């Protein structure tokens, strides 16, 4: 008889935007779990396309192009490639491995990226982004978000242009699938990769849903998300390693109780 897979019998919610949900969902399924894809962020093109168009016209003037996320790649790279070839002197940079992979899928290699922690702080610690005085840097990103990257590069003497190429919004769908799984005792954990996504979930749940959420482990890949979750009143927070690989390792290592949901 084959050994029982480590996540057998567990239903785990994947809350990444739909376009980025598949790798984690497939890893959960490979470990015997049942992934429930429930995006907590919807991604769409930027409301104003002109900043991206203007950046494309002067792309060869930059020395460094930073992509904040796979979404930034998905919404900017096709237009860049359509406009012209990637400039040979332009160094691509990314916050995490998912973005590096997305760039490589479009033929953009040699990407500068952190190798351990995947956040703005880790990217800023890399030598090419420390010695940037006088260099021109373009940051492709979504609307809102942290300004640490742009502000720090400016403080270091770089000339920085931030280009919004996509926008995030709350999901338009109902939370009924989550509530139904919780009521049936068939929702064992959530994975959350964004503080903004977690806020959308809390805003959508009623009082009973919040009780369910409080009793369910929430796996997060960064300490900042864990801090925000605790500030929002959640207690069952499991901090994992970074990226999807860290989340799946955290799920596999977790000491699952016999009953994770209220009756």
Say which CATH number the domain at 186 has. 3.40.50.10090
Q: Which of 134, 169, 204 is the last residue of a domain?
A: 169
The residue behind tokens 């964004």 is: 194
Confidence (pLDDT) at 258: 65
d(CA 33, CA 25): 9
pLDDT at 2 over 70: no
Q: Is residue 218 part of a domain?
A: yes
Provide the residue range defining the domain that includes 238. 11-41+173-253
Q: Is residue 35 part of a domain?
A: yes
Q: Which of 145, 169, 193 is the last residue of a domain?
A: 169
Q: Is residue 96 part of a domain?
A: yes
Q: Is residue 258 part of a domain?
A: no
> Comparing C-alpha atoms, which of 149, 165, 145, 144 is closest to residue 64?
149
Q: What percent of the chain has pLDDT over 70?
A: 97
d(CA 188, CA 199): 20
Confidence (pLDDT) at 84: 83
Q: Is residue 260 part of a domain?
A: no
- Domain co-membership, 161 together with 119: yes
pLDDT at 216 over 60: yes
The residues near 55 (Cβ < 8 Å, ≥ 6 apart) are 138, 140, 161, 163
d(CA 81, CA 94): 18
d(CA 106, CA 78): 8
pLDDT at 1 over 90: no
The 11-14 sheet, strands edge to edge: 34-37, 11-14, 189-191, 218-220, 237-239
pLDDT at 260 over 50: no
Quickly state the pLDDT bin for 118 (edges 50, 70, 90).
confident
- Domain co-membership, 50 together with 162: yes
pLDDT at 227 over 70: yes
> Comparing C-alpha atoms, which of 172, 185, 167 is closest to residue 71?
167
Asked if residues 90 and 128 have their Cβ atoms less than 8 Å apart, the reply is no
Q: Which of 141, 169, 197 is the last residue of a domain?
A: 169
- Domain co-membership, 28 together with 103: no
Q: What percent of the chain has pLDDT over 90?
A: 81
d(CA 13, CA 170): 17
- Domain co-membership, 88 together with 161: yes
Confidence (pLDDT) at 163: 96
pLDDT at 261 over 60: no
The residue behind tokens 């992934």 is: 35
Counting the structural domains of the chain, the total is 2
Query: pLDDT of 152-182, one tens digit each?
Result: 999 999 999 999 999 999 888 889 999 999 9
Confidence (pLDDT) at 262: 41
d(CA 165, CA 75): 6
- Domain co-membership, 55 together with 99: yes
Average pLDDT over residues 4-31: 94
Query: pLDDT of 47-98, one tens digit each?
Result: 999 999 999 999 999 999 999 999 999 999 999 888 888 999 999 999 988 8
> Comparing C-alpha atoms, which of 203, 200, 198 is closest to residue 216?
198
Average pLDDT over residues 200-223: 94
Asked if residues 212 and 11 have their Cβ atoms less than 8 Å apart, the reply is no
- Domain co-membership, 67 together with 160: yes
Burial status of residue 255 (CB atoms within 10 A of its CB: 0-12, 13-18, 19 or more): exposed
């Amino acid at each position: 008889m084959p050994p029982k897979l480590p996540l057998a019998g567990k239903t785990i919610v994947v809350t990444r935007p739909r376009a980025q949900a598949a790798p984690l969902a497939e890893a959960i399924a490979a470990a015997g779990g049942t992934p429930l894809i429930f995006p907590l962020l919807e991604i769409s093109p930027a409301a104003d396309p002109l900043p991206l168009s203007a950046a494309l016209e002067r792309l060869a003037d930059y020395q460094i192009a930073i992509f904040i996320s796979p979404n930034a790649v998905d919404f900017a790279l096709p237009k860049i490639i359509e406009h012209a070839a990637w400039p040979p002197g332009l160094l691509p940079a990314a916050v995490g491995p998912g973005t590096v992979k997305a760039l490589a899928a479009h033929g953009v290699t040699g990407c500068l990226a952190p190798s351990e922690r995947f956040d703005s702080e880790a990217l800023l610690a890399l030598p090419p982004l420390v010695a940037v005085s006088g260099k021109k840097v373009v940051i492709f990103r979504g609307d809102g978000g942290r300004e640490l990257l742009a502000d720090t590069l400016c403080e270091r003497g770089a000339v920085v242009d931030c280009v919004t190429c996509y926008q995030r919004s709350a999901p338009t769908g109902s939370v009924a699938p989550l509530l139904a799984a919780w009521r049936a005792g068939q929702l064992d954990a959530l994975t959350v990769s964004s503080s903004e996504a977690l806020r959308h979930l809390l805003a959508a749940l009623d009082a009973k849903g919040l009780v369910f959420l409080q009793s369910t482990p929430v796996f997060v890949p960064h300490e900042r998300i864990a801090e925000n979750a605790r500030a929002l009143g959640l207690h069952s927070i499991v901090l994992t390693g970074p990226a999807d690989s860290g989340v799946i390792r955290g799920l596999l290592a977790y000491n699952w109780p016999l009953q994770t949901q209220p009756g």
